[in-house]
Amino acid sequence: MKSTMRCNAMLLFAMILCLFTAVAIAQTSTTGTIEGTVVDGNGGAVPGVMITVSSPNLIRAQTATTNEDGYYRILNLPPGKYSITIEATKGFSKYEQADVEVNLSRTSNITAVLQAAGVGASVDVIASGSAGLDTTTNTTGTNVSTEQFSSFPTQRTVQSLYSIAPTATASGLRDASGRPIDPSVGGSSGPENNYILDGVNTTDPAYGGSGANLPFEFVQEVQIKTGGYGADQGLSTGGVFNVITKAGGNEFHGDAFEFYRNSSVDSRNFFNSGSQPSFTRNQFGGTIGGPIRKNKTF
């Protein structure tokens, strides 16, 4: 009886450990981080000030307080553009910085320089790009946001982006069923890659390829890791392809799209002297997002 109870307790502990591990992996796979320091005009650390970051991608604004070294760190932020605000305090003017980009599994480093009160009512800074080099990780690869890949001359699917990173090479081959063979990363074969969608491993258990493909309109960001990634996103000797889909916000928004193609816009095959085959293709759809309950559920 005691042996059975001991086995059940060990099984329960293993299940809880797996649950927490899965949650940790999902957070790592689907979010980014903002960190940095707050200093005064002379470069001295400013401790005890509150940092507030906000974005349409957040249910509610997130805050952090600087430590004695002026350092702050805000974790688990969905990818997107953020605004940073430091309210006027301790003799300093209000500080605001907009368009801070947060990427999947990346850390955006922002140093805020506070001006003495009276110098100006506020300091507005417009950040560009991803706020500098991420020095918190040695992972190699590429992050591509929806604003970027929407203008790429590729097919309008996620799988068409998988060979965009350095050392990732598309073979152009197809298997017996006509499915594209997955890209080679760093010399590894396609089945040695790992594919993650919204924190869930979607790698094909039978052939090791990508188990899911999505149109651009559903995707927020694609991250392609080609080396140096941690054990939390391992299970691969090739690359890790991390995809996150769009989410809602506190305001309703959406879009509609149509892609039209017919035979009149296709060039004629050089070796085809006959008539051009006639066809018409329409692809259309839309997206909509918003709050179910503001500040609670999207």
pLDDT on residue 50: 94
Q: Do 229 and 268 belong together in one domain? A: no
Q: Do 168 and 219 belong together in one domain? A: yes
In a domain, 75, yes or no: yes
Residue 97 has pLDDT above 50, yes or no: yes
Q: Do 187 and 214 belong together in one domain? A: yes
pLDDT on residue 119: 56
| Domain range enclosing 35 | 29-126
As a whole number of angstroms, the distance between CA 260 and CA 59 comes to 36
Which pLDDT band, with edges at 50, 70 and 90, does 285 fall under?
A: confident
Instruction: Give bridge partners of residue 95 from the DSSP assignment.
Output: 86, 123
Single-letter code of the amino acid located at 13 = F
DSSP 128: -
Q: Do 229 and 207 belong together in one domain? A: yes
In a domain, 24, yes or no: no
CATH code, 237: 2.170.130.10
Q: Do 158 and 184 belong together in one domain? A: yes
Q: Do 68 and 109 belong together in one domain? A: yes
In a domain, 2, yes or no: no
Per-residue model confidence as pLDDT tens digits over 104-128: 888 999 999 998 886 554 555 544 4
Q: Do 62 and 95 belong together in one domain? A: yes
Q: Do 105 and 153 belong together in one domain? A: no
113: helix, coil or strand? strand
CA-nearest of 194, 200, 211, 203 to 141 is 194
Q: Do 95 and 167 belong together in one domain? A: no
As a whole number of angstroms, the distance between CA 280 and CA 248 comes to 34
Q: Do 274 and 183 belong together in one domain? A: no
pLDDT on residue 104: 87
Residue where a domain terminates, one of 68, 103, 126 = 126
In a domain, 21, yes or no: no
Residue 182 has pLDDT above 60, yes or no: yes
Domain count, the chain: 3
Cα dihedral sign, 257-180-207-221:
negative
pLDDT on residue 209: 79
Residue where a domain terminates, one of 103, 126, 149 = 126
As a whole number of angstroms, the distance between CA 7 and CA 207 comes to 35
In a domain, 70, yes or no: yes
In a domain, 263, yes or no: yes
Residue where a domain terminates, one of 63, 91, 126 = 126
- pTM for the predicted model, two decimal places: 0.71
pLDDT > 70: what percent of the chain?
Answer: 77
Q: Do 190 and 148 belong together in one domain? A: yes
As a whole number of angstroms, the distance between CA 275 and CA 295 comes to 59
Per-residue model confidence as pLDDT tens digits over 205-224: 877 778 777 888 888 899 99
CATH code, 116: 2.60.40.10
Q: Do 41 and 120 belong together in one domain? A: yes
As a whole number of angstroms, the distance between CA 275 and CA 289 comes to 46
CA-nearest of 195, 139, 145, 135 to 167 is 139
